[in-house]
Amino acid sequence: MAGRQRRDQGDGQLAKGAVWPVLGNCRELDQIAATGPFEDVALSATLSGTRNARLQVAAEWTLRGAYPLAAALPVADDGTVDPQDLLSSRAASVAGAVYLRSLAPLRALPRPRLLAHPDDLTSRLSGCGPGSMEVLWLLGWPQYIGMIADQLARVHPDAERALAATRNLGFAVKTASMDRKKVLGAVEASIDPAARPLFESWLDLVFGARTARPAAARLPARTSWGRGPMRPWTMRAGGATVIGAGMGERAAEWYLTLSRPSRSPRPDLIAEVHGRADRLWGQLGPELPELAPGKALWNRLQGFTITLRLGSDTLAAVAEMGIH
């Protein structure tokens, strides 16, 4: 297969072109290339500007028309905290979200024997040479995710139901640190309301008795568990049921008071991450002396974004970084 040609963009093209490995000596990967979700993939890197430059690295996959990948990525925005809003308001150093309605369609994707079980990967790719795992990710990452989700669903009889009920995922970190006692962040997931008793029974088992907390001092009404930094919670947020957990003292108080602004529908946006490299470097740099030789570069990095978008016949992952 040959990749499609890409139209020039920007004023400082670093690398451009289509990449589609020819692995005639690797039958397992050839099968994914011939029958998997993508017809081809184009990789590009573009540097634009000089004083305040912007680096963009992108991968664009062309969807195989006969393969049901687009239907396996149903987008639904349940109103998690807005990663872009958190960064612009300086409420977080990095934040992200995945806006899928369900993982079930990814689990149902046709998969080759190579991706039947993760334990078989190493042996089946042993004759494919260096970089075979990276090529597998490039060609078949949706099927790989489906395989991992299948394995999680088999851990416990209730895990199947819990996985099917999980919708959006989100996270935010205000303070990053190698010392978990200094971290301030939170994760959350929106779930089908009918599965709330199941999740809450698991939290009862792990964290003990629950406490119903009424709305007060900008904090929403919620049910919470335990003491200490995690203190998971469930609550209603807009029209969704949300389960979350904090990382760090007073994480719940910080995260649950963040605004959840309404936003226009974005039916093409599957996932996004927004962050400030300079803030993360300021927090982590002193704790990672092995990165000190690159301090001059780290200090030049600014905000970054990563998005995954579904088009009519393409899937595009784009990472952008500001450099001054």
- The whole model's pTM is what? 0.86
pLDDT of res. 12: 37
Domain coverage including residue 31: 13-323
Using DSSP's 3-state secondary structure scheme, residue 243 falls into strand
Q: What residue ranges in the chain does DSSP mark as E strands?
A: 13-18, 38-48, 53-63, 94-98, 166-175, 184-191, 210-213, 222-225, 233-237, 240-247, 269-276, 301-310, 314-323
pLDDT band at 45 (very low <50, low <70, confident <90, very high): very high
Decide if 3 is inside a domain. Answer: no
Mean pLDDT is lowest, of 33-47, 125-139, 299-313, for 125-139
118-173: pLDDT as tens digits: 887 877 787 777 778 888 888 899 999 999 999 998 888 899 999 999 999 999 99
- Let me know how long the chain is: 324
Decide if 95 is inside a domain. Answer: yes
| More confident: 1 or 116 | 116
Decide if 1 is inside a domain. Answer: no
> In total, how many domains does the chain have?
1
63-89: pLDDT as tens digits: 999 899 999 999 999 888 889 989 888
Sequential DSSP letters for 182-226:
T-EEEEEEEE-GGGHHHHHHHHHHHH-SEEEE--BTTBPPEEEE-
87-98: pLDDT as tens digits: 888 899 999 999
| Stretch 185-211: mean pLDDT | 93
Decide if 24 is inside a domain. Answer: yes
pLDDT of res. 228: 67
Are 248 and 185 spatial neighbours (Cβ–Cβ below 8 Å)? yes
Strand-pair partners of 276? 303
Using DSSP's 3-state secondary structure scheme, residue 52 falls into coil
| More confident: 249 or 294 | 249
Asked if residue 211 has pLDDT above 80, the reply is yes
Asked if residue 109 has pLDDT above 90, the reply is yes
| Stretch 15-24: mean pLDDT | 40
| More confident: 159 or 26 | 159
pLDDT of res. 10: 40
b/e per residue, 146-174, with b = 16+ CB within 10 A?
bbebbeebeeeeeebebbbbbbbbbbbbb
| More confident: 183 or 132 | 183
Asked if residue 315 has pLDDT above 90, the reply is yes
Asked if residue 269 has pLDDT above 90, the reply is yes
Q: CA 295 to CA 283: how far, in whole Å?
A: 13
Decide if 5 is inside a domain. Answer: no
Mean pLDDT is lowest, of 143-147, 238-242, 316-320, for 238-242
What are the residues whose beta carbons fall under 8 Å from the beta carbon of 323, sequence distance 6 or more? 52, 53, 54, 55, 300, 301, 302
pLDDT of res. 3: 41
Q: CA 79 to CA 300: how far, in whole Å?
A: 33
Decide if 280 is inside a domain. Answer: yes
pLDDT of res. 25: 62
Share of the chain above pLDDT 70, in %: 90
Decide if 2 is inside a domain. Answer: no
Asked if residue 23 has pLDDT above 60, the reply is no
pLDDT band at 271 (very low <50, low <70, confident <90, very high): very high
Decide if 300 is inside a domain. Answer: yes
Mean pLDDT is lowest, of 23-37, 62-76, 84-98, 217-231, for 23-37
